[in-house]
Structure 1
Amino acid sequence: MGEFSIWHWLIVLVIVAMVFGTKKLKNIGTDLGQAVKGFKDGMRDADLAANPPEQTAEAPRQRLVHERDGGASRDPQDTSVNAPH
């Protein structure tokens, strides 16, 4: 009684398809997929809110470099070496 063969599952699938119809089952599958996608997006947004990206941590370092250089305007991404004359 506890074991179901593939034939049992196929019969159940056919009965469910006849009761609900294939269009209704397709809509349920689509709705379920959209719900899972929405859940994943919500989890990612919550994770980003809890752990902001490291790019925001770069701003204080840029300000310190700017203050250390006497307020000279310099691109923080510039890797060229400018020796004093």
Structure 2
Amino acid sequence: MTQTRTSREQLVFRRPFALPGLAQKLPAGTYTVEVEEELIEALSFPAWRRTSTTLTRRPERAGELIEAHAVTARDLEAAQLIDAA
């Protein structure tokens, strides 16, 4: 059985932003980034491999759907750099 771990952090985008693979820009706001990793068991020391990264936006109004998008760490970092400029 493979051991996994999940980490979460909040990101705030001040402006709408684009990510590769999405038809529309995502709105400014607070997003949760969830990273899933699995333990690489063949090594003599603990090492983790990223298996997925998900960007989630909570609904701002009742009746809105939760948006979740699979992203790469590289694409997410590029979007943050553009937002900070």
Shorter-normalised TM range: under 0.3
- Normalized per residue, which structure has more helix? 1
Higher relative contact order (CA 8 A, sep 6+): 2
Q: Which has the larger radius of gyration?
A: 1
TM-score, length of structure 1 as denominator length: 0.20
